[in-house]
Amino acid sequence: MRALRKKELEKKGLKSRALDRKERVGQEQAMAFLEVRNLELNVGGFKLHDIRLRVEEGDYVAVIGPSGSGKSLLLETIIGFYSPKAGRIFLEGCDITAFTPDKRQISIVYQDHVLFPHMTVFENIAYALQKKVKDKARIKAEVERIASLLEISPLLFRRPKTLSGGEKQRTALARGLVVRPKLLLLDEPFSALDVRTKERLRAILKNAIREYSTTVLHVTHDFDDLWALADRVLVIRNGKVMQEGEPEAVFKRPSPNFVAEFLGTNLLKGRVRNREGNLTVLELEEKSLAQASKPELEMESEAKSSLLFYSADSGKPGEVVSLSIRPEDIILAEKALESSARNMLKGKVKVLTKKEHLVSVSLKLESGNKSDLSAISKAAQASPGFKAPACPDSKVSEYSDSKASGIELKAVITPTACELLGLERGKEVYAIFKAANVKIIR
């Protein structure tokens, strides 16, 4: 999306604000479009601590983190509602730290719209423009253009209190975008909306952002926003940036552990046992943290375990690491299967949770199961079409110890798959995943 927008910018002849900036600033390292340096702030109970951020022109950055982590405070500091205790904010190479909000050319859209109740939809959008544009005909044309883009043309003469949540949010987006801000800040704009409205709004927003070529910082709790819209993601906790990068990279390789927990990744603690060819063999530690995002499970997970996992990441023997496995990367099967996947674990379904259009399956790896590599191998061999693995030691993960209990894995499957497998609480299934999907976090 980012590359696409860059191309569009160039096509429109808008290019190169970034290049101009490089020349203008004349620094060794080019300054990013938005650059936040060592930002410190303490407002009420919320804190920002040493925030550093670089956002390139045209980027769509999703800011995620638990409630109270300072995400909204970061946006409100960037727009100038709060003055930082320390640190600097640069926009297009210009230090805007001391600028009042009216001088920054940044727009913000809140979850609860903050539409002026005494103005109609038209007046709300036009109000944003009136300071910049004096020609009434041009204001009207601009308002009509954005209204058409955001599909609110029939609502222009209605008051905000007569609009639905989605309509209000589209109006707020129109008001934020119509001024063509250098930076658009979105503070959980879709969180109060239903799933269908959210999906529709994402598509509308994506289109509008492309049309207006705006750089966006979007605070969200909804990972669907992130996948649908963001080029980059920033994870914040307790006012500190924990990780940033492309969504895929952050989800696949969350670091540190907090990010993995927050992103709902299966997070297990283990020790590197040895290397087998290109693979690292990991042995789970005594106190494995299965699904640390569910503290009630931690107690259960403190049992001794020596489950083995295979990872394509490298590791030094003896090294203590965390393993991250995305729930979407786990395949569930009724029988042991022959496949290229290096990890196959037997377990029982503990909890089935329907989540919008997916089913989350919590799998408890069996306790007291004496089965080991050979047992599972036998099961695999018994299944039709089984062929001996080319790499005998690494085909299946083994239960080498009966105390490998309490470890939980979460998998995400579709309701159809759930039905086909006949999943129910207590049913035995195999969790299969590739060594490439077991990420080592240090």
Partner 1 sequence: MKQSAFRKGATGIACFFTCLFFLAVGTLLLILKPSELLKALLSAEMLYSMKLSLLTASISTLAVMFFSIPTAYSLSRFDFSGKSLVRSILGLPMAFPELVLGLSLLLLFGQTPLGSGLEALGLRVPFSKLGIGVAQFFVAFPYAVRVIYSTFEGIDCRYEQVSRSFGYGDFETFRNVTLPMARGGLFASAVITFARCIGAFGAVLILAGGSYMYTEVLPVTLYLNISYGNLEMAITSGVLLMGIAFLAILCFEHFEGEKS
Which positions touch partner 1 (CB under 8 A)? 76, 79-81, 100-108, 110, 114, 116-118, 127-129, 131-132, 179
Q: Give whichever of 176 and 247 is closer to partner 1, judged by the CB atom.
A: 176
Alpha carbon distance 178, 126 (integer Å): 8
Minimum CB separation of residue 125 from partner 1 in Å reads: 10
Minimum CB separation of residue 79 from partner 1 in Å reads: 6
The structure tokens listed for 56 are 């390139």
Torsion, CA 18, CA 21, CA 23, CA 24, rounded to 10: 170
Contact call for residues 62 and 201 (beta carbons, < 8 A)? no
Q: What is the DSSP letter of 390?
A: S
Q: Give whichever of 108 and 242 is closer to partner 1, judged by the CB atom.
A: 108
User: What is the sign, positive or negative, of the torsion defined by CA atoms of 20, 23, 29, 31?
Assistant: negative
By C-alpha distance, which of 277, 299, 272 is closest to 438? 272
Q: Give whichever of 132 and 442 is closer to partner 1, judged by the CB atom.
A: 132
User: Which amino acid is residue 37, in one-letter code?
Assistant: R
Q: Give whichever of 103 and 335 is closer to partner 1, judged by the CB atom.
A: 103
Element holding 432 (H helix, E strand) = strand 428-433
Minimum CB separation of residue 128 from partner 1 in Å reads: 5
Minimum CB separation of residue 302 from partner 1 in Å reads: 46
Q: Give whichever of 128 and 234 is closer to partner 1, judged by the CB atom.
A: 128
DSSP 253-270: S--SHHHHHHTT-EEEEE
Q: How many CB atoms lie within 10 A of CB 319?
A: 15
By C-alpha distance, which of 320, 70, 75, 248 is closest to 176? 75
Alpha carbon distance 89, 37 (integer Å): 6
Alpha carbon distance 436, 395 (integer Å): 13
In angstroms, what CA-CA distances link 434 with 320, 339, 396? 21, 9, 10
Minimum CB separation of residue 131 from partner 1 in Å reads: 4
Alpha carbon distance 181, 184 (integer Å): 6
Minimum CB separation of residue 66 from partner 1 in Å reads: 22
Q: Give whichever of 142 and 398 is closer to partner 1, judged by the CB atom.
A: 142
Contact call for residues 340 and 422 (beta carbons, < 8 A)? no
Q: Give whichever of 27 and 130 is closer to partner 1, judged by the CB atom.
A: 130
Alpha carbon distance 341, 230 (integer Å): 30
For strand 343-355 and strand 266-276, is the pairing parallel, antiparallel, or unpaired?
unpaired
Q: Give whichever of 128 and 149 is closer to partner 1, judged by the CB atom.
A: 128
Minimum CB separation of residue 2 from partner 1 in Å reads: 25
By C-alpha distance, which of 72, 441, 102, 141 is closest to 266? 441
Q: Give whichever of 80 and 270 is closer to partner 1, judged by the CB atom.
A: 80
Contact call for residues 289 and 373 (beta carbons, < 8 A)? no
User: Which amino acid is residue 252, in one-letter code?
Assistant: K
Alpha carbon distance 218, 233 (integer Å): 9
Minimum CB separation of residue 176 from partner 1 in Å reads: 9
Q: Give whichever of 79 and 143 is closer to partner 1, judged by the CB atom.
A: 79
Q: Give whichever of 114 and 192 is closer to partner 1, judged by the CB atom.
A: 114
Minimum CB separation of residue 107 from partner 1 in Å reads: 6
Minimum CB separation of residue 43 from partner 1 in Å reads: 12
Minimum CB separation of residue 191 from partner 1 in Å reads: 16
Cis peptide before 160 (omega within 30 of 0): no
